Structure 1
Amino acid sequence: MYRRLIEHLKSWKESQNRKPMILRGARQVGKTWLMKEFGRTCYKKCAYISMDENEVMEEVFRDAFDISRIITALEIAVGFQIEPGNTLIIFDEVQEIPRALKALKYFCENAPEYHVIAAGSLLGVALHEGTSFPVGKVEFCDLYPMDFWEFLKACGEDGLADLLAARDYGLISDFKNKYMDYLKYYYYVG
């Protein structure tokens, strides 16, 4: 499967002024899959931490925002050493531990060498009252449901997808029945 947004994440990885990334999107649009796939394909290691019902991480972020202490805790949790630039740190469902979201500010200010990406459904709506948001210290990226072009790629129909991208309306018209069948399937699957 291929999601176009991975190209934006690759540019973010190479950016000299990179800030922690927050991936926003509705439930079930593929945020977790995209972050893990990005980590798998673009980094040597991927440190995935789900904040959902994670009492250990809740305790880790309850104390002061000492990044070296947080990194040590993350390394223990994932079972390997986190190398700046070579390891993608993923905080999934970050809205469940608002202080983890606030910690992104300190990654930006005190440890920009670490590549951190966070995601959560309804992020911004589900934040708890009294929790500050790291305004200006994070970048945002929005993931939407899979578009028709991505759907064709996921179905193994690279040729049809390439015709759409090339806007070759003559050939597109020649294959209109095939496009219509896939469009119905796309609508049905959602």
Structure 2
Amino acid sequence: MILKRKIYSKLLEWKNKCKGTKAILVEGARRIGKSTIAEEFAKREYESYLLIDFSKKDKLVEECFHTYLNKLDDFFMLLSTHYSVNLVPRKSVIIFDEVQMFPQARAAIKHLVADGRYDYIETGSLISIKENVQDILLPSEERSIKMYPLDFEEFAWALGEELLLNYIKTCFEKKEPLERGLHNKAMMLFKQYMLVGGMPKPVILYIQNAKNFAAADAEKRDILKLYRNDIMKIKTQYRTKVLSIFDQIPGLLSKHEKRVVFKDIQEGSYADQYRDTFFWLADSMISNECFMCNDPNVGLSVNEDRTYVKCYLGDTGLLLSHAFDENEILENEVYMQILNDKLSINEGMLYENVIAQMLVANGHRLYFYTHYSYEKHRNDIEVDFIISNNSKLKYKMYPIEVKSGKNYTTASLNKFIEKYKSRIGESYIIHPKNLIIKDGIVCIPAYMTFCL
């Protein structure tokens, strides 16, 4: 089963615009479908393609890069013969799959692109791609695009719900609620996305097993083990810290504030000791970082404070499997409880994580805001997310509060709006209920997040 992915159109844009003047590197976490989409694109858009999987450590192929890069006629002849593929100038593409396993191939891109005969697609898992480039010259003839797990729209496509998506978009644009039955259907679709997540193999298993969660859950646990094994291979100076944060993500997100309190991880710890840790997790795209913006008047990134961070897992389906062991999932029927709104514990964690995931998939960097009241000895304003229009001339920000329950207050968001009203475009509450506009705040159902 081949899933429809948005990145396909970005690859098509690269092919048509660059016309062989740049290679493209598809970056992303492990098991998100990079190799699958690259090969599917090659099959559809080229007369022929050659796929080199560097994880297989083919000595003959590696020798070609070492020996024949200065004799490209021989280089292409040997590859073409070895893979039994007829390469056609300007009508064929060569895929360097798992390019991080053989950095010399990435270094060769400059030379190969200059030759101009073929197009080149590279795929790489960021988990190790950055650590394997110390001794090579990174090619300027390389364009990179990031690939994420399936977003909500892609998940809905996989389940054949294109018409429902169109209806949701129309209602969002008109600021109108969905018809009640369709709202319930959309919320059920959203819950399925939250539980299964966007990793391609679990999604496919979920569909092929008549929407049974068991096979998808087993596959998600395999992916989590793979991530853990990858962490064990990184540099020793911060391996333990990365593993500690990775293991504690569900616990961190279960707290009210959800931000990382470093002294709670280990007595005497402070933020600077974990700088490389969060960089590695975010750069590998295992996690999505959310930094505090302490003065969101000019621009969010200008005023970010990296000593205050929230760490969301990159895929919420993985988070669910990470949070509960297999016996808990089975014995307590966790999936069914969440579908039926009967699991109060941890549901806020999942809601906030999936909203973070959906915002990142839409190209937003994540920021949050808190204001500490010395008079009250506590935070009196907390805003879960702030996104912006990134305009330098007409800057506007959009505060977002996430509510997993149907009963909530808006006091904190109201204070934030009053404090920064001249800079705010619209304010949003994301909740399980239908769309409603209340006191100038646009309250949207969780499934509408992809419209932001």
CA contact (8 A) 2:68 2:75 kept: no
TM-score using structure 2 length? 0.39
The residue type equivalent to 1:183 in the other structure is F
* Residue matched to 2:190: 183
Change (3 A) 1:163 1:47: farther
Alignment of 1:1-190 (within 5 A): 1-16=3-18, 18-52=21-55, 53-66=57-70, 67-109=72-114, 111-122=115-126, 124-134=129-139, 136-166=140-170, 167=172, 170=176, 172-174=178-180, 175-190=182-197
Aligned sequence identity (%): 28
CA contact (8 A) 1:84 1:115 kept: no
User: Within 2, Cα distance between the matches of 1:36 and 1:104?
Assistant: 19
The residue type equivalent to 1:108 in the other structure is V
The residue type equivalent to 1:181 in the other structure is M
CA contact (8 A) 2:97 2:124 kept: yes
CA contact (8 A) 1:94 1:100 kept: yes
Q: How far did 1:178 drift?
A: 1.2
Provide Cα deviations, 1:101-139, integer angstroms capped at 9, x if missing partner: 111111222x223111011111642315322221x1111
User: Within 1, Cα distance between the matches of 2:48 and 2:98?
Assistant: 20
After TM superposition, the structure 1 stretch with the greater mean CA deviation from structure 2, 88-97 or 154-163, is: 154-163
Q: How far did 1:8 drift?
A: 1.1
Q: Count matched residues.
A: 188
SS where residue 126 of structure 1 aligns?
helix
Change (3 A) 1:101 1:156: same
Higher relative contact order (CA 8 A, sep 6+): 1
SS where residue 30 of structure 2 aligns?
coil
CA contact (8 A) 1:39 1:46 kept: yes
User: Within 2, Cα distance between the matches of 1:59 and 1:158?
Assistant: 48
User: Within 2, Cα distance between the matches of 1:164 and 1:43?
Assistant: 36
Q: Which runs of 5+ in 2 are unaligned?
A: 198-452
CA contact (8 A) 1:85 1:115 kept: yes
CA contact (8 A) 1:46 1:89 kept: yes
Q: Which runs of 5+ in 1 are unaligned?
A: none
The residue type equivalent to 1:7 in the other structure is S
